Amino acid sequence: MSNIKDSLDAVKGILEAVPVYDDMLQPASKEVGKSLLTVAKTINLALAPLAGLVWSYEKIRLHIETSMAEKLKNIPEENITSPDPSVAVPAIQALRYTAHNEDLREMFTNLLATAMDKSTVKNAHPSFVEIIKQISSDEARIISLLTNDHSKAVIRLRSMNHDNDHYTEILQEFSILPYLAGCEHPELGPSYLNNITRLGIAEINYTTYSTFPNAYEEIYKHPVFIEKKKWIEDNAKRAEVRRGTFCRTQFGEKFYNACIIEK
Query: Cα separation of 76 and 84, whole Å?
Result: 19
Lowest mean pLDDT among 24-28, 181-185, 214-218: 24-28
Residue 208 has pLDDT above 70, yes or no: yes
Those residues with Cβ within 8 angstroms of residue 110's Cβ, 6 or more apart along the chain or in another chain: 71, 258, 259, 260, 261, 262, 263
Residue 116 has pLDDT above 60, yes or no: yes
Q: How many C-beta atoms lie closer than 10 Å to residue 105's C-beta? A: 21
Which architecture, in CATH terms, is 152-250?
2-Layer Sandwich (3.30)
Residue 62 has pLDDT above 60, yes or no: yes
Query: Cα separation of 57 and 137, whole Å?
Result: 22
pLDDT at position 10 is 39
Q: pLDDT tier at 261 (50, 70, 90 boundaries)?
A: confident
Tens of pLDDT, residues 101-112? 999 999 999 999
pLDDT at position 201 is 97
Phi, then psi, of 42 in degrees rounded to 5: -65, -45
pLDDT at position 31 is 56
Q: pLDDT tier at 64 (50, 70, 90 boundaries)?
A: confident
Which sequence spans correspond to the domains of the chain? 2-53, 57-133, 152-250
Query: Cα separation of 173 and 51, whole Å?
Result: 37
From the list 168, 171, 173, the residue with the least C-alpha distance to 190 is: 173
Those residues with Cβ within 8 angstroms of residue 186's Cβ, 6 or more apart along the chain or in another chain: 138, 178, 179
